[in-house]
Structure 1
Amino acid sequence: MKHLQEKTVTRSLAKGLLAGLIGGLVSTAAKTLAEKIYPPRTHGEPEPPLVLAEKIAGHRLEGAKKLAAMETIHWSFGALTGAAYGALAEYYPQATAKDGAGFGMALTSLTHGTALPALGLSAELEDQTTRERTSEMATHVVYGMVTETVRRVVRKMLG
């Protein structure tokens, strides 16, 4: 009789962070693409990373500085959020439920539904258009699912 052996997974904070970071970068690209298909802001509203960059700079940004600041904030947030998710998944595997969709929904609720309005980086939730809310939810679900898919693959590769 053949015995089935359970594979023991050794938790590793460093591997979880790295797998999540890579997942976060890939999913930031996927979210960016998804926003080109279903943009959240269609009436000229400023992007939250731009509002943050200009608050930090203390003045309006133009041209290359504007683009560099926005992209730095956008990609850094995506990478760091992915890394945090990877660490969480390492020690709390239930966080990966629904293939990362729950993570994406929680993230949009925490950012666009709570933190960004509180910091004055976006409109209050009740003042956001239906288009903005549904786009942010949909594209954050894409972000969460891509993060989880890539994290899982990378984590397996890391052993």
Structure 2
Amino acid sequence: MNGSNESSSSTQQREQSPDDGEEQEPATVKAAETISEIILGHQLAENEKEIAGDLVHYATGAASGAVYGAAAELAPELTVGAGIPFGTAVWLIVDEGAVPLLGLSKRPTEYPLSTHIYALASHFVYGLTTDIVRRAVRSML
């Protein structure tokens, strides 16, 4: 998977609170902080947060892409739409579902429609890119 396309504005950029205008940390940084504290017993320093957030972002993207690649081998019909349905599913399950449910972002209803459209479009690109990479790797096997 190509994790560089996986994120949305709600998980990659600083979030602006609609109520008070205060910036919030990106969901990927919040996840990295939680992982670091629970698994490593380490509280991230300010200069570690961006790198750790990027690591979570790319790891999530790579894992999702690997699942897609494996699933495509078992059920080739999943590749209909050249990865765009896959990207849409990642957006719906991760950005709109898991991230808010885990308390890593606000509820989806607290973001403007434009944020959701941008995130969905980003995931279209991610899904398409993931499928292109999958096809290239498959042709080399």
TM norm structure 1 = 0.71
Q: Which amino acid aligns with 1:56?
A: I
Instruction: Spell out the pairing of 1:1-159 with structure 2 (5 A cutoff).
Output: 24-25=1-2, 28-31=3-6, 43=16, 44-58=23-37, 59=43, 61-63=45-47, 65-158=48-141
Alpha-carbon distance in 1 for matches of 2:53, 2:105: 14
- In the alignment, what sits opposite 1:11? none
Equivalent pairs counted in the alignment come to 128
Q: Distance in 1 between matches of 2:6 and 2:35?
A: 25
Inter-partner Cα distance in structure 2 for 1:66 and 1:97: 38
Greater C-alpha radius of gyration? 1
Stretches of structure 1 that go unaligned for 5 or more consecutive residues are 1-23
Residue 55 of structure 1 deviates from its aligned partner by 2.4
* Secondary structure in structure 1 of the residue aligned to 2:104: coil
Question: SS of the residue aligned with 1:98?
Answer: coil
For the Cα contact (< 8 Å) 2:86–2:127, is it kept in 1?
A: yes
Q: Calculate percent identity across the aligned residue pairs.
A: 33
Paired residues of 2:29 and 2:49 also in contact (CA < 8 A) = yes
Amino acid of the residue matched to residue 132 of structure 1?
A: T
Unaligned 5+ segments in structure 2 are 17-22, 38-42
